[in-house]
C-alpha cells in the first residue's frame, strides 16, 4: 500500500518535514517514491511554513494512496490557504492611469 506521510529532516530540536509518497513498509525517513512538498513548523518571519503540490496529492489519492492524519490536516490547510490568496492577476485593481 502507498501512503502519503511526513519524513523528518533538519537538525536536533529544529524539525523540518518533507511530504512524501512512500510504500507503507519503507522506513519513515527512508526510500520514497516522490517528494511533493514540505512542512516547516519552526518557520519564522516571511519564511514559508507549508508548501504542498495539491495536484500530485489528488493524483496519488486517486491511485489509492492513503494520507496520514497529519498530512490530511496539512492538505486541508494548504487548500484553505490557496483559496484565501488570490492568484488571478486580473482580479487585482489597476492602479495605473491611462
pLDDT in tens, 31-89: 999 999 999 999 999 989 999 999 999 999 999 999 999 999 999 999 998 888 765 55
Identify the burial level of 84 via C-beta atoms within 10 angstroms of its C-beta, where 0-12 means exposed, 13-18 middle and 19 or more buried: exposed
pLDDT of residue 91: 52
Contact 39, 19 (CB under 8 A): yes
Q: Kindly tell me if the per-residue pLDDT of 97 is higher than 60.
A: no
Enumerate domains of the chain plus CATH numbers. Answer: 2-85 (3.30.1320.10)
Can you give the pTM of this predicted structure?
0.81
Contact 53, 71 (CB under 8 A): no
C-alpha cell of residue 80: 484553505
> Number of H helices and number of E strands within the chain?
2, 5
Q: Maximum distance among all alpha carbons in the chain?
A: 62
pLDDT of residue 7: 97
Amino acid at each position: 500500500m502507498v501512503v502519503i506521510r511526513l519524513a523528518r529532516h533538519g537538525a536536533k530540536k529544529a524539525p523540518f518535514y518533507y511530504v512524501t509518497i512512500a510504500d507503507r513498509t519503507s522506513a519513515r525517513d527512508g526510500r520514497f517514491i516522490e517528494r511533493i512538498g514540505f512542512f516547516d513548523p519552526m518557520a519564522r518571519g516571511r519564511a514559508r511554513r507549508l508548501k504542498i503540490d495539491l495536484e500530485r496529492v489528488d493524483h496519488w489519492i486517486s491511485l489509492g494512496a492513503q494520507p496520514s492524519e497529519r498530512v490530511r490536516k496539512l492538505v486541508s490547510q494548504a487548500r484553505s490557504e490557496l483559496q484565501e490568496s488570490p492568484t488571478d492577476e486580473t482580479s487585482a485593481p489597476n492602479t495605473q492611469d491611462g
